[in-house]
Amino acid sequence: MTDLSSLTAADIRDGIAAKEFSAREVADAAFARVEALEPQVRAFNQLTPELAEKAANRIDAMVAAGEKLPPLAGVPAGIKDNMNLVGTRTTCSSRILADYQSAYDCTAVRRLLDAGALPVGKCNLDEFAFGSSTENSAFGPTRNPWDLERVPGGSSGGSAACVAAGMATVSLGSDTGGSIRQPGALTGTVAMKPTYGRVSRYGCVAFASSLDQIGPFTRSVRDSALVLNAIAGKDDMDATSVTQSVPDFTAGLDDGVKGLRVGIVRDMLELEGLAPEIKASVEAAAARFAALGAEVDDVDIPAARHGLSAYYIIGPAEASSNLARFDGIRYGHRVDDASDVLDLYMRSRAEGFGPESIRRIMLGTYVLSAGYYDAYYGQAQKARTLIIEDFAKAFESYDVLLTPTTPEVAFKIGEKSTDPLAMYLSDVFTIPLNLAGLPGVSMPCGFSRGLPVGLQLIGRHFDEATMLRAAAALEADLALDMTPATVRSLKA
């Protein structure tokens, strides 16, 4: 069949419906590509060929029976390994859950598969989603398909890399402070965090429950809209999912941006540490919006400068609470020779958790402790409120906001691993959206030294449609070739 990396999700579904190829042939092509590239990229913790074959056979049976196909029929999909799927392990890339078998399905994953997707495998991540490079995984780092010596970003690095390399057409990641959008920018993929509550979090192992959101990686804006159509909506199993109606996110993608009000978040463009070539690429993209008919102007979000500080109090505090359940008693890693229950807790956790997880658990426990709660956690929540208010004020005048996604392009493996503060700065542009619960999408807007540069578009609460419409217009205008070096070498 045609090279899988050149096909969109709609191409695959339509090709199967027209009997140009079968879903089983798509699955075989995906796993052939995995066989060729996975030893270099290491995007997956577990491959699921049996589940993919079963799903493909179901699609082919529907074709044979003349039934209408679901919207993602036959589309190869990767799943971040912090989301449950019966028949797989859910490890969170941690030794403490290395052998944990999924007892139920994550709602977003089940909806993706019910829409016809073929599960290729569970994708590598920073342990418990704590990181920005996928170097914190207990199973080793994932490598960026654009340059195998560089990181793919994190924490959803495996989900980003498998789509960038064409081993899957779409994938799911989770985003607590930028863990979808940041790796999307570093791998040249389209990566979206929906509005908080738009997609159920049920079955996704929690990092910070007031910040986490599941979203897609794709190679086109239209595919992102298709996946969001499939996974969005109220779920009675998740009290934080909302009853807001779910539109067809593909409906207005071709409407262009004429008359749309686009605000460049100027104070973010002036942040120290932003690479000049990133700033230039984002400003060039803003100029393209103006040329396409949008009204473009500067806007400031003053409280956003407090986002990083607030996040690294709120996030670890919630993580400390959520990870308390991993104690060696009910499930997960457990030492066999503990002298008492306290020894069991301490040694099981010390052996099971990696250094970054321990760092964040300790930080979160500290800021929640007596005497420090008001000084740290309480102040961080006040800063969060200011960020929400500043975004709300900006959206009184603008339909979409625009920032860089990351301060620099993909860095080399090991370059920041000994400097946590430098690593944390990778998410300086993405974190404010999680604190405010806003939707955001990262899309490629250019290159620097042969590596992708990401642009972040921000929408109003539950207005992913306008955000995606703007992204689709810019994507069509730029018409970038986002074929990574590893994929070019495979074609050669």
So which residues are the catalytic ones? 80, 155, 179
Tokens 């690429």 correspond to 281
Beta strands in 7-142 (DSSP E): 44-47, 76-80, 118-123
Contact 83, 172 (CB under 8 A): yes
The whole-angstrom separation of Cα 174 and Cα 212 is: 7
The whole-angstrom separation of Cα 256 and Cα 291 is: 11
Beta strands in 153-286 (DSSP E): 170-175, 190-193, 213-218, 261-265
Q: What is the DSSP string of 448-483?
A: ETTEEEEEEEEE-TT-HHHHHHHHHHHHHHH-----
Strand, helix or coil for residue 164: helix
Which tokens hold the place of 22?
């079968």
Q: How many CB atoms lie within 10 A of CB 83?
A: 29
The whole-angstrom separation of Cα 426 and Cα 178 is: 9
The whole-angstrom separation of Cα 424 and Cα 251 is: 37
Determine the distance from the C-alpha atom of residue 28 to the mean position of all C-alpha atoms in its chain, rounded to a whole number.
26
Helix axis angle, 107-114 to 221-231, nearest 10°: 110
